[in-house]
Structure 1
Amino acid sequence: MRKEHTNKRKHSRKLKGNMLSVMTAFLLIAVSWAGFGSVITSAKDSNTTISSTPVVYKSITIRESDTLWSIAEQYKPESYSIDRYIKELRELNHLQSNQIYSGNKLIIICDTLTNVDPDCIQIVSR
């Protein structure tokens, strides 16, 4: 009787171990699937657009009378509105506001490869 009881206990432990392994595998698959699905969804839903048009940049020193608006009027490519150009300048230079300070450097967008100012340097393609 005792041997039969011991065998039942071993069988019960083995069954619990197998069920635990199956549940762990299922949980890992479910978590992996959910994570992979969210990555695909976020990439698909992203509003980021990538253009193959190269953009040309230049670094300028901000003068006392400069504002982002005056810099936009002076340097923005024809394809940009002033508001869009200022928004891109702020993003490019990690500016929290429209406030700029004389003597600081500012990276500006000169143009696409058409009508390039010789002082501009192509840094990246967008």
Structure 2
Amino acid sequence: MRYSTYKSIHEHGQSLPAKSSISYVKSHSLHQMTHGALIKMLITISVFIAGCGVVFTVSAGDEPVLLNQKVVVTSGDTLWSIAVEHKPEQMDTRIYVEALKATNRLQQGTIQSGQVLVLPQFQR
């Protein structure tokens, strides 16, 4: 049989010889694989950029952050008092308060007694 009577829904009534149908399927499959790989690559790049953004936000400057110490909030503690007690000498207290909020994912500056906070430790 030289020509097929099968009509593809994609060709709107045009029938293709067997060779071109096979090449169409191959190129269409390659296009789908390329499209899938492109989406995976874009997702990977987006996650990487978002991760870098978090690192830069937490660092609050050029100094890297080490997340290794914790403090338990007691009655009367504020972010400011914790920052004054634990920040490096030369650092502005406001920067350390913002680093505390970012490290602990606090939307506002309120903390409660008994809450455990991770302290950002800046290398000197």
Q: Structure 1-normalised TM-score?
A: 0.60
1:3 corresponds in structure 2 to none
- Map of 2:97 onto structure 1: 86
Displacement after TM superposition at 1:104 (Å): 2.1
Equivalence for 2:79: 68
Aligned-pair identity in percent equals 19
What is the root-mean-square deviation in Å for CA atoms of aligned residues?
Answer: 3.5
1:9 to 4, 7, 10: 4
CA distances 1:57-86 after superposition (whole Å, capped 9, x unpaired): 422221222110111111111353222211
Q: Distance in 1 between matches of 2:45 and 2:120?
A: 32
Structure number with greater CO (CA < 8 Å, separation at least 6) is 1
In structure 2, relative to structure 1, the CA distance for the partners of 1:108 and 1:43 (3 Å cut) is: closer
State the TM-score, normalizing by the size of structure 2.
0.61
Structure (1 or 2) with the greater strand fraction:
1
Give the gaps of 5 or more residues in structure 2. 6-15
**Structure 1 pair 29–82 and aligned structure 2 pair: CA distance change class (3 A):** same
Q: Residue 113 of structure 2 corresponds to which residue in structure 1?
A: 102
Shift of 1:34: 5.7
Residues in 2 aligned to 1:79 and 1:43: alpha-carbon distance in whole angstroms: 32
Q: How does 1:19-98 map to 2 (within 5 A)?
A: 19-33=24-38, 35-36=40-41, 39-40=44-45, 43=48, 46-47=52-53, 48-49=55-56, 55=66, 57-98=68-109
